[in-house]
């Protein structure tokens, strides 16, 4: 699922909540169109181009290198991310307001997802989190949202109303890249260790720092 960076920086969300299934088709299209336009404009900015090469986008152009990236964002990239996030906060209110009005059962899951997204943003924007680890954590957060939405009501075609079928193909591609990155890490002697380990504990991001001697070379 490509949702983390969509809610974080406001890019269009084709896999999120299946807007065409909510309320009237006209209202859903209007909300989705407004959000898509807001996100596309944010992505097209100079700041969007700066960070797209390192953060996981789920648009078919990602590579295992993004999952192996051992460095935090550079100061310039962090500044770009902060600017994009400020605009994205306004963009994502469009989709959250629509869900609140039309499919209230989804709102709690999206709010939790936004909470997780903002925790990753905080760590990335301060340079506390390596990009590769952040990308993996965002994938985990995406999968949790999908499971949450899958627990909701069933639509007329027999599928969970909050999840779209085409998501399965994207997940297979992501799984292949995750496996490729794991094989690369396993082949390294010795493996390069991050200076910080983070993981999800419920809806909270827990991080622990390692001593520099254990973590290898300092981040750039």
- Residue 220 resides in a domain: no
How many structural domains is the chain composed of? 1
- Residue 211 resides in a domain: no
- Residue 198 resides in a domain: no
Report the distance separating Cα 51 and Cα 11, nearest Å.
Answer: 13
Range of the domain at 144: 3-192
- Residue 84 resides in a domain: yes
Q: What is the pLDDT of residues 43-101, one digit of tens each?
A: 889 998 899 899 988 777 888 999 999 999 999 999 999 998 998 888 888 877 777 66
- Residue 200 resides in a domain: no
- Residue 26 resides in a domain: yes
- Residue 181 resides in a domain: yes
Model pTM above 0.85: no
Q: What is the pLDDT of residues 192-205, one digit of tens each?
A: 666 678 999 989 99
């Amino acid at each position: 699922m490509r949702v983390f960076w969509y809610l974080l920086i406001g890019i269009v969300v084709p896999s999120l909540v299946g807007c065409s299934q909510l309320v009237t088709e006209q209202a859903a299209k209007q909300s989705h169109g407004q959000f898509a336009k807001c996100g596309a404009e944010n992505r097209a900015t100079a700041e969007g181009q700066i960070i797209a090469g390192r953060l996981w986008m789920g648009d078919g152009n990602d590579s295992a290198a993004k999952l192996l990236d051992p460095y935090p964002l550079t100061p310039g990239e962090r500044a770009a991310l902060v600017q994009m996030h400020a605009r994205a906060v306004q963009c994502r209110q469009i989709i959250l307001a629509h869900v609140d009005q039309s499919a209230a059962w989804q709102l709690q899951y999206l709010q939790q997802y936004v909470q997780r997204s903002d925790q990753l943003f905080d760590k990335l924007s301060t340079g506390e989190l390596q990009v590769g680890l952040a990308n993996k954590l965002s994938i985990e957060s995406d999968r949790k949202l999908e499971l949450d939405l899958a627990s909701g009501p069933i639509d007329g075609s027999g599928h969970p109303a909050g999840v779209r079928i085409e998501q399965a193909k994207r997940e297979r591609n992501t799984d292949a890249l995750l496996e490729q990155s794991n094989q690369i890490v396993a082949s390294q002697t010795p493996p390069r260790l991050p200076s910080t380990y983070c993981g999800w504990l419920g809806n909270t991001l827990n991080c622990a720092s390692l001593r520099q001697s254990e973590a290898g070379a300092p981040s750039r």
